Amino acid sequence: MSWDCYCTICGGPFEICQFRTIRKAKPADSQHQATDATGDGRERAEEPSSAGEYDSDESDESEYGFGNDVYDEDIITADEARWTRTLSVLGLNPHAAGAKKAFVSGPGRYYDRSIVDVEVGDDPSYPYTEAYRFRCYSPDDDDDPVFPFHRPCYELLAQALTRTDGVETAVKQVGKDALYAAMQSIPHPIRRCLSLDYGFNAKAQEQWWRCMLGYEFVVAPLDCTPASSALLRATIASHSFQPAAVARDLAPKVRNDLFQKLPFEIFHMVLSLVGDNDAVLSLCRASWPVNAALRDNEPFWRSRIRTSLRCLFELHPLIADDHLPPGKSLKGLLLALDALTRPRKHMRGPFMGLANRRHVWSVCEQLVDVYLAASR
């Protein structure tokens, strides 16, 4: 029986994905009259969504024979997703000279049934002098398991584990023995991946990878392209993020609010534990003391950008004081950047790679505590 296994870090594929040009609904079908939101009675043609309007599953099935099990090549091409086909493995060589036993192989390809063919690479702990075929996750014999990954995912994981922005420095600082022990400690009952929350990719991890129409971003390269870098700069330079008008003081109307009684240090400690930006905004709406404390608190929102969008490394230098236009609302900037790079279905455009990076980063953060525990 044949099956696919998946990247230990992102949960994504190593095999070739299916790409086709997907028929969109005809303009006459997708446009209809709608009352203008201004309420002036004029009518306009409703714009199709940014993802385009797709025909039904049945029409896709009749044309291609595979329904929605395909990626739209108008959104991402096979060449752009080619990076997913190259892998390396993290393994253990108990006979390696010295104290460090774990190794990272050279590049390789997926074969079938969790079997990969990899080259030697430059790791001195690699146990062979030529290319070798490994079985990932759960070998049949007494060999120690190996864990396959895309190299860009490994580099991102290294940055998460070491809290270092530079890729080369982060990779050098990773303790491979601790990382191997961490991965081995996580259950992997089937030869496909670890028992982690792989987000959107979990939906596609069937016997073979399922290409899901609308989720093209999960195979987008993780690097920041010139287009996405330019758009980041343009977003930050935009004048649409001005501070909100000063609201009237509602403090006299507050009768009982826990945050009103908290010491300043505890107050900020609590807020630092709120991981979701939407939750912070909800807290601002629910509590006037929180709203008043954060409304013009630029250091808080700058810190929030750096922590909640930690993996957008190209962004951090751009939000320094000497780079930001005067009067810029960092709160508004955070909300815009969070929305533009948030992983979501039917995403398209230059921020797909950064959205996929955030998607993979969420898995990397699940490994951080396990890795740190194994490092002690």
Residue 5 near residue 114 (C-beta atoms within 8 A): yes
pLDDT number for residue 87: 99
Query: Which single residue is written with the structure tokens 């990626």?
Result: 71
Sign of the dihedral defined by the CA atoms of residues 119, 371, 166, 276, in that order: positive
Query: Which single residue is written with the structure tokens 């998460």?
Result: 160
Nearest of 267, 280, 351 to residue 315 by alpha carbon: 351
SS3 225: coil
> In degrees rounded to 5, what are phi and psi of residue 118?
-125, 155
Pairing of the two strands 33-35 and 43-45: antiparallel
SS3 186: coil
**Considering the entire predicted model, what is its pTM?**
0.84
pLDDT number for residue 215: 97
CA-CA distance, 159 to 173, in Å (whole number)? 9
- Tokens representing 179 are 């990382």
pLDDT number for residue 295: 82
CA-CA distance, 89 to 147, in Å (whole number)? 5
Residue 15 near residue 208 (C-beta atoms within 8 A): yes
| Angle at 17 (CA atoms; ends 24, 132), nearest 5 degrees | 170
pLDDT number for residue 139: 75
Per-residue pLDDT of the chain (376 residues), as tens digits, is 889 999 999 999 998 789 998 876 554 443 443 333 333 333 333 333 333 333 334 334 434 444 579 999 999 999 999 999 999 999 999 999 999 999 999 999 999 999 999 999 999 999 999 999 999 998 777 789 999 999 999 999 999 999 999 999 999 999 999 999 999 999 987 789 999 999 999 999 999 999 999 999 999 999 998 889 999 998 888 766 665 555 555 555 555 677 777 887 888 888 888 878 888 888 888 888 888 888 888 889 999 999 999 999 999 988 886 677 777 788 889 999 999 999 999 999 999 999 999 999 999 999 999 999 999 9
pLDDT number for residue 59: 39
CA-CA distance, 11 to 356, in Å (whole number)? 12
pLDDT number for residue 242: 60
Residue 248 is classified by DSSP as P
pLDDT number for residue 45: 33
CA-CA distance, 317 to 336, in Å (whole number)? 17
